[in-house]
C-alpha cells in the first residue's frame, strides 16, 4: 500500500468545486473526491496554522496539548512531566508515527516545522525535505522534489508521502508567468456589493481593505501580485481572483504528481490519498481580507477527502467532524495499537464511515482561535455561535450568532433576536470546556494563558500605532471605540 497526504495551507472548503464552488479551481482534487469519501462539515478545531497542525498531529484539542496561539507559552506543546520516559508520549503517539509503526517508509516535503519552531511535527518521518523558505515557497519549489523522489522510489511498496503546499496562503504569489484562470470572469458568489465594500473601507481592525498587510499597506518586491490595499470593489474582486489562482495552482501541481503515478502504473486500487487543509480564509467576512484570524465558518471549515483502498467511493459524509478525528481513524485502519494507554486522543474514529458509510459524526464542533483574536465558537445544526474574549482590535460584539446555511458570509448577527440559540451554544461550549478540563493533566485553559501574557500574538503592541494611522481619516470614529473596548491597551 502507498499513501499520499496532501496538506494544503489555507484551503477554504467553499472555494473548491467538489464543495459547490462555481469556479473550476480544483478539478484534480474534485476527481479524487469522486473516487473516495468527501466530508461535508469537517472543521479545524484550533485555528490558525500552528494550533491546527498541533491538533492534527497530536489527536488532541489545544486545550489539552497546550497550543492555541502563535506566540508565548501557548505556542508550545505542554511538557509531559514526571511520566515522560526516554521519549515523550506525543512524539510516539502522533499521526505520522502511526504510518511508521505500520511499516511505512515516511517522507515529508514541508517547511512547517522550521517556520514555527515546531519540531515535534517531524516526529515519525524517516526523511524530511525542507526547501528553506519557511512557508515563503511556492509549489514549483516543492513539486520537483516530490517528483524526483517518486522517480527514484515510487515503485517501492509501503511508502507514505506528506506533501505540503502553501500557495493559497497570503501573500498570494503564483509565479509571474502563471496566467490567471479567473481574471475577467464573474465571481460565483458576488456578495460584496458596492455598498458592502464601502462599509469595509470604514472597518476598524487589522487586515481590512486599507491594510492588507495587517497593520499597514506595505507591499513587497518578492510578491508583486499581492496588493497592499483595496480601494474599490473591483480591487476586492481581483483579490479573490488571486486567492482562487493560488488554489488552482496548487491543484495543478497535485495533478503533476498524480499524472506521474498514473504514467508509472502506480495510481491503482492500492493507492490511498488524503487531502485536507490546516484552515480556510476570510475573504471579506467581518471586513477582513486575506487572513485566517477568526473562529468562524470560512476559517474553520476545511476539506477532508479520503480515497482509501477497499473503502467507499464517490460518497459524501454528513455531520460534524474535526481534524483530531483523523489520527484514531488512521490508527484503526492500519491496525496499529496505542503506544501508551495513558495517552488521550480527543478524536473519534470515522473508519466505519469509510468502510460502510456509517455515521460517526459528532453533535457539534467547538472551534478556538487565539493567534489573532481570542474566540471560542461552536457549530451546531445550521448555526455558528461565537464568543469573543479579545477581538484583536476589531470592534466585534462579545456574542454573535449566524445561520451559516442561509448566511454563509456571516453578515447578519442573530444574537439579539435568538437568545435561545445563544444559550444553547453557550451551554455547548461550557459543557465541552468542563469535559476537557476534567480530563486534562493541567490546571489551566491555554486561552487564558494567552490573555494573561498580553493577548493574541498578532495584535500585541500594535494598537497605539494603528490609532495614529487612522487619525484624520474616515475611520477616526473608531479611536474612542477602541479606547472604550480595549482600555489599558490603548494607553
Q: What string of H, E and C letters represents the secondary structure of 319-381?
A: EEEEHHHHHHHHHHHHCCCCCCCCCCCCCCCCHHHHHHCCCCCECCEEEEECCCCEEEEEEEC
Determine contact, residues 183/253, Cβ cutoff 8 Å: no
Exposure b/e, 168-205, CB count within 10 A at least 16 = b: bbbbbbbeeebebbbeeeebeeeebeeeebeebbebbb
Q: How many CA atoms, within 13 angstroms, populate the side-chain half-sphere of residue 318?
A: 3
Q: CA 90, 95, 96 angle in degrees (round to 5)?
A: 105
Percent of the chain that is helix, strand, coil (3-state, to 5)? 35, 15, 45
DSSP 3-state of 385:
strand
Among the listed residues 449, 446, 436, 443, the one whose alpha carbon sits nearest the alpha carbon of residue 344: 436
Q: Cis check for the bond before 48: say yes or no (omega within 30 of 0).
A: yes
**Whole-number Å distance between alpha carbons of 81 and 460:** 30
Q: Per the structure block, which three cell numbers stand in for 45?
A: 478545531
Among the listed residues 168, 137, 432, the one whose alpha carbon sits nearest the alpha carbon of residue 277: 168
**Whole-number Å distance between alpha carbons of 292 and 301:** 11
Helix (H) or strand (E) holding 164: strand 159-165
Question: Which residue do the cell numbers 515516511 mark?
Answer: 106
Q: Per the structure block, which three cell numbers stand in for 146?
A: 516530490
Pairing mode, strands 46-47 and 127-129? unpaired
Pairing mode, strands 315-322 and 282-283? unpaired
Q: How many CA atoms, within 13 angstroms, populate the side-chain half-sphere of residue 48?
A: 28
pLDDT at 474: 96
pLDDT at 490: 72
Q: CA 168, 279, 444 angle in degrees (round to 5)?
A: 145
**Whole-number Å distance between alpha carbons of 347 and 56:** 10
Phi then psi for 487, rounded to 5 degrees? Answer: 45, -115
Q: In the chain, what is the straight-line distance between the N-terminal and C-terminal CA atoms, in Å?
A: 60
Q: What is the mean pLDDT of each run of 10 residues along the chain (491 residues)?
A: 98 98 98 98 98 98 98 97 95 98 98 98 98 93 98 97 98 95 94 98 98 96 96 98 98 98 96 98 98 98 98 97 98 95 96 98 98 98 98 97 98 98 98 97 95 96 95 97 88 73
DSSP 3-state of 176:
coil
pLDDT at 386: 98
Helix (H) or strand (E) holding 143: helix 139-153
Q: Cis check for the bond before 171: say yes or no (omega within 30 of 0).
A: yes
Amino acid at each position: 500500500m502507498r499513501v499520499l497526504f496532501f496538506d494544503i495551507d489555507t484551503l477554504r472548503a467553499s472555494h473548491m468545486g467538489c464543495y459547490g464552488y462555481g469556479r473550476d479551481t480544483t478539478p484534480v482534487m474534485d476527481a479524487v473526491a469522486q473516487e473516495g469519501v468527501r466530508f461535508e462539515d469537517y472543521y479545524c478545531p484550533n485555528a490558525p496554522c500552528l494550533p491546527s497542525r498541533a491538533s492534527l498531529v497530536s489527536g488532541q484539542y489545544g486545550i489539552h496539548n497546550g497550543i492555541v496561539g502563535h506566540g508565548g507559552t501557548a505556542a508550545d506543546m505542554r511538557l509531559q512531566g514526571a511520566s515522560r520516559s526516554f521519549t515523550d508520549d506525543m512524539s510516539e503517539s502522533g499521526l505520522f508515527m502511526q504510518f511508521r509503526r505500520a511499516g511505512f517508509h515516511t517522507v515529508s516535503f514541508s517547511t512547517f516545522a522550521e517556520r514555527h519552531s515546531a519540531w515535534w511535527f517531524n516526529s515519525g518521518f524517516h526523511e524530511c525535505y525542507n526547501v528553506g523558505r519557511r512557508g515563503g515557497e511556492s509549489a514549483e519549489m516543492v513539486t520537483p522534489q516530490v517528483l524526483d523522489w517518486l522517480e527514484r522510489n515510487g515503485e517501492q511498496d509501503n511508502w507514505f508521502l506528506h506533501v505540503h503546499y502553501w500557495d493559497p496562503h497570503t501573500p498570494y504569489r503564483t509565479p509571474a508567468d502563471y496566467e490567471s484562470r479567473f481574471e475577467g470572469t464573474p465571481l460565483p458568489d458576488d456578495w460584496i456589493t458596492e455598498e458592502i465594500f464601502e462599509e469595509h473601507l470604514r472597518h476598524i481592525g487589522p487586515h481590512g481593505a486599507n491594510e492588507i498587510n495587517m497593520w499597514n499597506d506595505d507591499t513587497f518586491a518578492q510578491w508583486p501580485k499581492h496588493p497592499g490595499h483595496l480601494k474599490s470593489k473591483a480591487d476586492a474582486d481581483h483579490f479573490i481572483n488571486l486567492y482562487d489562482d493560488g488554489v488552482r495552482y496548487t491543484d495543478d501541481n497535485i495533478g503533476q504528481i498524480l499524472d506521474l503515478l498514473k504514467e508509472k502504473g502506480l495510481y491503482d486500487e492500492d493507492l490511498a490519498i488524503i487531502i485536507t487543509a490546516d484552515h480556510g480564509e476570510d475573504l471579506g467576512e467581518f471586513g477582513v481580507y486575506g487572513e485566517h484570524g477568526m473562529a468562524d465558518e470560512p476559517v474553520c471549515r476545511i476539506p477532508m477527502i479520503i480515497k482509501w483502498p477497499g473503502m467507499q467511493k464517490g460518497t459524501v459524509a454528513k455531520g460534524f467532524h474535526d481534524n483530531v478525528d483523523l489520527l484514531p481513524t488512521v490508527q484503526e485502519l492500519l491496525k496499529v495499537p496505542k503506544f501508551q494507554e495513558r495517552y488521550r486522543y480527543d478524536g473519534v474514529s470515522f473508519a466505519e464511515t469509510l468502510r460502510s458509510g456509517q455515521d460517526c459524526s459528532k453533535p457539534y464542533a467547538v472551534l478556538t482561535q487565539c493567534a489573532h483574536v481570542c474566540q471560542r465558537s461552536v457549530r451546531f445544526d445550521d448555526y455558528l455561535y461565537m464568543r469573543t474574549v479579545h477581538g484583536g482590535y476589531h470592534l466585534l460584539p462579545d456574542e454573535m450568532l449566524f445561520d451559516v446555511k442561509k448566511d454563509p458570509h456571516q453578515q447578519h448577527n442573530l444574537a439579539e433576536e435568538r437568545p435561545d440559540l445563544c444559550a444553547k451554544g453557550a451551554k455547548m461550549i461550557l459543557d465541552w470546556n468542563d469535559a476537557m478540563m476534567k480530563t486534562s493533566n493541567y490546571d489551566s485553559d491555554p486561552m487564558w494563558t494567552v490573555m494573561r501574557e498580553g493577548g493574541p500574538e498578532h495584535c500585541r503592541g500594535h494598537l497605539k500605532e494603528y490609532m495614529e494611522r487612522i487619525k484624520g481619516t474616515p475611520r477616526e470614529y473608531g479611536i474612542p471605540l477602541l479606547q472604550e473596548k480595549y482600555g489599558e491597551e490603548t494607553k
